[in-house]
Structure 1
Amino acid sequence: MRGSPQAALQSLAARITQEISQVSSSLMTQSCKNHFNVSHLLACCPQVLAVCLCPQLLKDKSLPLDVRLRAQSLLESCDGGSVGAYTPSSGLHRVRQSIAEFITRRDAGAPSYAKDIYISAGSQMAMMVLVKMMASGQGETPAGVLTPAPCPPKLPMLLDDAGLTLVPYRLTEERGWAVELDELHRALEAARGRCEPRAIYLSNPGIPTGHMQDRKSIEEVIRFAAAEKLVLLADEVYQDSVYGAGSEFVSYKRVLFEMDKHLSDTVELVSFHSLSSGCMGECGLRAGFMEAVNMDAGVMHYVDTLMCFDISAPVTGQLALDLMVNPPKPGDASYDTYTQEILLTRATLSQNAQRAWHFLNALPGMSCQPAMGGIFLYPSLRLPAAITEQAEALGVEPDALYCQRLLQEEGVIVGAGCQHGDAAAAAAADRRHLR
């Protein structure tokens, strides 16, 4: 269990799965993976991609007409009419324009421009480029990023790799994992002297907590960022997966543009979205994007230069992004099927979240805040002293040991809270978390 707890669990799960396949008498028939996104493409997307990969299918009348027309249009946007050609480092202009139009529709007319959109091989790749830019040119005091605890599991590693200091601020679990303004000020003051805070990261819907920020909370964070001259990093990859009662996704971009002009024209905001995390997500296609708002042109030129080192995102992923932000419309042959699949996916997410929430809250020693969006629940649990003592003897976190035992004895894979930057605060509160 040394190193990354999740990597150790995945390695153990692979070994158990192999043993199960070789020993038919095993009590377990397979491991149950509950710790990561396993969503898949909606029907219209693989059909369009299939035609793009095999243009001969443009003549196949067994495929819906709108599928063939869409594929032809996408191929025309590629150099040489082929998905095998390189694209600009920031992505195909056609796809960037589609993304800009999607954002404008989503945000009730707040303007978005293709020049401010950067497509990458997943939203984390875009985040990596941005934080490396923030780390450059720093003096004796390292740059820092205010980061929620808990946070996405790879974020601390990403910041560390870029040479940035992680400045944790606690989300208030008892209030549905709320972002508290007093806690932001506390974290900022605690960071003074050891780093120079340059940005604040937020995920909405929350990862891994599933919380949703309302408009008032977002406005408070924007004013805080403006007063402290921080860049806002808004991770909004689960914006399509909102199902909590009375919950509605409102983007940071929209709230910012509906505030006073001295804020909407000056606060620096970078928002992220991903093909992997929405209703039509397919993680293996590797595509995401960021939109930069009010960022200095020279800074973004440097970001564009950094993105050139990775050539471009996979072309098939870029085309799938186009389908995600510009899906079939009423009157298209694929519209009814697409709509039914979207509604079914969202209903399934909502039902599963409710069932899991009720189940977890009924377990002894465990409690869970309801998820308003995303695909995870993040329950807390109090572990027996024996587990804590055994974990200390082994040199691992108690929640990581619990996850290992759960996998070995029940075949269920869940994530340990310690991988979300949660270990220190959880130990102080005498409660651990699972994802």
Structure 2
Amino acid sequence: MALSAKTLTLDSMNPNIIKMEYVVRGPLVIRAGEIEKEIKQGVKKPFNEVIRANIGDCHSMGQPYIKFLRDVLALVIDPTNFNESKYPEDAKKRAQAILDGCGGKSVGSYSDSAGIEIIRQHVAEYIQNRDGGVPARCEDVFLSAGASQSIKAVMNLLNKKINRKVPGIMAPVPQYPMYSATIAEFGMHQIGYYLNEESNWSLEIPELERALEESKSECAPRAIVVINPGNPTGQVLTRENIQNIIKFAYKHKLFIFADEVYQYNVYDSQSTHYSLKKVLMEMGEPYNTMELASFMSCSKGYMGECGIRGGYVELINLDDSVKTMYQKSISAQLCPTTIGQAAIDVVVNPPKKGEPSYDQWYKEKMTVLNSLNERAKFVAEKFNSFEGFSCNTVQGAMYAFPQFKLPPKAIEAARQVGQQPDVFYSFQLLEETGISIIAGSIFGQKSGTYHLRMTILPQMDKLKEVFIKFEKFHKNFIAKYK
């Protein structure tokens, strides 16, 4: 007998999975991995290595880990290390508090679905201190495996048709593609609002009004995503800008997603990170009763612990019954990784002045942040020195998002091979120099403009090497297609 056809095929599977894309790890990154394998196999290339300046993976680009964080993790993973004198007493104190909150005093046990209670308490204390005394409650904090997991879980709460229209989620353009991927996966509608490149990627209310109004025939607008500091654009929103966004969300009854994972990454001396919750609460009635979810992670900042997968969400002003449903939904996933929870605990409860680890911790933290500051300025200056390139100040986060002009012949060559012009440029750059970056069209951009996103994460000596190769490539590319 012939074998029966597969039960699950492209025709019979969830069409939203087919529709969704997470192109930050798409064809360019796949090709970079293939080239790395080819180099190992002895295939001759005009370079010796692939430099992955495409993704915000700090440690892969040489960022050192924070010793105190790893000390605490070593202690909670293997409590026999408590007998070792090389681990400072404040690390042991942190680790013991975490273990005391675990079943059987082991991180190998399940935690509550919302996370280990003592860590949630520490997160609430951190938020309250960060926001200058604006109250924060442990009951509103939910730990997660990175910020991404909680973003998806909260967005899923909104996944209900209103008057037979799918829910619409407002997201910035350019934007971090996890949002567009999740919106597609959930069968929602993305309402793209353009950031204003001419004023350093500012978020402007008339554009929000335009995007919202034009979307109403296709969806029921339900939420707005605000990424601050911005990814991939690197801007830091002013307090006045945040106030106007809150007023807009209030006017249109929108749930606010505050993606604040880069809150430590502010480099511009004229810029300050204000949490949306702090501004919302200080605005008073009626804004201080609005629903907002604020997300944080140990993957960014000065920590850069991307693979450990630690994060949290603070749910503000949610209806109690809705919060109960959120608790139920995350309980189906059992619990977030306990190692990630321990990492978040160190982020929100670092060494304090007078404790044995404080001086080294502070030195390591500031060394990382000062170096990122230096690289943020260096990258923008270098791009602005290239023919046809213009790059805004990298005020925060970990990326530059320069615009560049392409000769008509290059645009035509890209179309002949079925690629977007900036994708074509990025592939040529990868094949000729080994530099892996991401084309701007992947993040969204205004029609007729071309961008690329490059991280500022390569260490300075490597970054200088990158730009020597990059500048040579760009001059040759322009000459070839002029």
Among 327, 333, 336, the residue aligned to 2:350: 327
Which residues in structure 2 correspond to 1:310-325 (within 5 Å)?
Answer: 310-325=333-348
Residue 261 of structure 2 aligns with an amino acid whose one-letter code is: V
Residue 428 of structure 2 aligns with an amino acid whose one-letter code is: R
Structure 1, unaligned runs of 5 or more: none
Which residues in structure 2 correspond to 1:1-12 (within 5 Å)?
Answer: 4=23, 6-12=25-31
Residue 401 of structure 1, CA deviation: 1.5
Looking at structure 1, the residues matched to 440 and 312 of structure 2 have their Cα atoms a distance apart, in angstroms, of 27
Residue 69 of structure 1, CA deviation: 2.1
Which residues in structure 2 correspond to 1:215-230 (within 5 Å)?
Answer: 215-230=239-254
Matching of residue 16 in structure 1 with residue 35 in structure 2:
yes
Go from structure 1 to structure 2 and tell me whether the alpha carbon gap of 1:316 and 1:415 turns closer, same or farther (over 3 Å shift).
same
Residue 25 of structure 1, CA deviation: 5.2
Which residues in structure 2 correspond to 1:107-118 (within 5 Å)?
Answer: 107-118=131-142
16-25 or 166-175: bigger deviation: 16-25
Matching of residue 46 in structure 1 with residue 70 in structure 2:
yes
The answer to whether the Cα contact below 8 Å between 1:128 and 1:162 also exists between their aligned partners in 2 is no
Residue 5 of structure 1, CA deviation: 6.5
User: What residue number does 1:386 align with?
Assistant: 409
Looking at structure 1, the residues matched to 214 and 57 of structure 2 have their Cα atoms a distance apart, in angstroms, of 39
Residue 24 of structure 1, CA deviation: 7.4
Looking at structure 1, the residues matched to 322 and 188 of structure 2 have their Cα atoms a distance apart, in angstroms, of 17
| SS at structure 2 position matched to 1:333 | coil
User: What residue number does 1:290 align with?
Assistant: 313
Among 405, 410, 421, the residue aligned to 2:428: 405
Residue 295 of structure 1, CA deviation: 1.2
214-223 or 291-300: bigger deviation: 291-300
Residue 453 of structure 2 aligns with an amino acid whose one-letter code is: L
User: What residue number does 2:373 align with?
Assistant: 350
Residue 96 of structure 1 aligns with an amino acid whose one-letter code is: R
Looking at structure 1, the residues matched to 249 and 449 of structure 2 have their Cα atoms a distance apart, in angstroms, of 32
Residue 154 of structure 2 aligns with an amino acid whose one-letter code is: L
Residue 297 of structure 1, CA deviation: 1.3
Residue 21 of structure 1, CA deviation: 2.0
Which residues in structure 2 correspond to 1:340-379 (within 5 Å)?
Answer: 340-379=363-402
User: What residue number does 1:269 align with?
Assistant: 292
The answer to whether the Cα contact below 8 Å between 2:440 and 2:450 also exists between their aligned partners in 1 is no
Structure 1 residues 62-82: Cα deviation after superposition (integer angstroms, max 9, x where no partner) = 221212222122111111100
Looking at structure 1, the residues matched to 396 and 340 of structure 2 have their Cα atoms a distance apart, in angstroms, of 24
The answer to whether the Cα contact below 8 Å between 2:73 and 2:339 also exists between their aligned partners in 1 is yes
Looking at structure 2, the residues matched to 154 and 50 of structure 1 have their Cα atoms a distance apart, in angstroms, of 31
The answer to whether the Cα contact below 8 Å between 1:201 and 1:235 also exists between their aligned partners in 2 is yes
Matching of residue 33 in structure 1 with residue 52 in structure 2:
yes
Looking at structure 2, the residues matched to 130 and 74 of structure 1 have their Cα atoms a distance apart, in angstroms, of 26
Among 114, 120, 136, the residue aligned to 2:144: 120
Among 444, 448, 455, the residue aligned to 1:429: 448
| SS at structure 1 position matched to 2:177 | coil
Structure 1 residues 22-71: Cα deviation after superposition (integer angstroms, max 9, x where no partner) = 32754311111112123243001111111111111111112212122221
Residue 139 of structure 1, CA deviation: 4.4
Residue 10 of structure 1 aligns with an amino acid whose one-letter code is: V
Normalising by structure 1, report the TM-score. Answer: 0.96
Structure 1 residues 220-262: Cα deviation after superposition (integer angstroms, max 9, x where no partner) = 0001111110011110000011111221111001101111222
User: What residue number does 2:15 align with?
Assistant: none
The answer to whether the Cα contact below 8 Å between 1:212 and 1:373 also exists between their aligned partners in 2 is yes
Residue 385 of structure 1 aligns with an amino acid whose one-letter code is: P
Go from structure 1 to structure 2 and tell me whether the alpha carbon gap of 1:90 and 1:140 turns closer, same or farther (over 3 Å shift).
same
Residue 398 of structure 1, CA deviation: 1.4
What do you get for the CA RMSD once the two structures are aligned? 1.5
Looking at structure 1, the residues matched to 154 and 57 of structure 2 have their Cα atoms a distance apart, in angstroms, of 27
Looking at structure 1, the residues matched to 58 and 130 of structure 2 have their Cα atoms a distance apart, in angstroms, of 23
User: What residue number does 2:210 align with?
Assistant: 186
Go from structure 1 to structure 2 and tell me whether the alpha carbon gap of 1:430 and 1:333 turns closer, same or farther (over 3 Å shift).
closer
Structure 1 residues 130-184: Cα deviation after superposition (integer angstroms, max 9, x where no partner) = 1111013544111101111000022101111112100011100010100011001
The answer to whether the Cα contact below 8 Å between 1:156 and 1:421 also exists between their aligned partners in 2 is no
Looking at structure 2, the residues matched to 158 and 421 of structure 1 have their Cα atoms a distance apart, in angstroms, of 16
The answer to whether the Cα contact below 8 Å between 1:49 and 1:316 also exists between their aligned partners in 2 is yes
The answer to whether the Cα contact below 8 Å between 1:118 and 1:290 also exists between their aligned partners in 2 is yes
Among 136, 144, 157, the residue aligned to 1:133: 157
User: What residue number does 1:142 align with?
Assistant: 166
| SS at structure 2 position matched to 1:429 | coil
59-68 or 222-231: bigger deviation: 59-68
The answer to whether the Cα contact below 8 Å between 2:126 and 2:348 also exists between their aligned partners in 1 is yes
Looking at structure 2, the residues matched to 57 and 244 of structure 1 have their Cα atoms a distance apart, in angstroms, of 41
Among 256, 263, 266, the residue aligned to 1:242: 266
User: What residue number does 1:66 align with?
Assistant: 90
The answer to whether the Cα contact below 8 Å between 1:380 and 1:434 also exists between their aligned partners in 2 is no
Residue 48 of structure 2 aligns with an amino acid whose one-letter code is: T
Residue 387 of structure 1, CA deviation: 2.4
User: What residue number does 1:280 align with?
Assistant: 303
Looking at structure 2, the residues matched to 138 and 80 of structure 1 have their Cα atoms a distance apart, in angstroms, of 46
Matching of residue 210 in structure 1 with residue 234 in structure 2:
yes
User: What residue number does 1:103 align with?
Assistant: 127
Looking at structure 2, the residues matched to 137 and 51 of structure 1 have their Cα atoms a distance apart, in angstroms, of 48
User: What residue number does 2:110 align with?
Assistant: 86
Residue 432 of structure 1, CA deviation: 3.4
Q: Percent identity?
A: 34
276-285 or 389-398: bigger deviation: 389-398
The answer to whether the Cα contact below 8 Å between 2:441 and 2:450 also exists between their aligned partners in 1 is no
Q: How many residues align?
A: 429
User: What residue number does 1:257 align with?
Assistant: 281
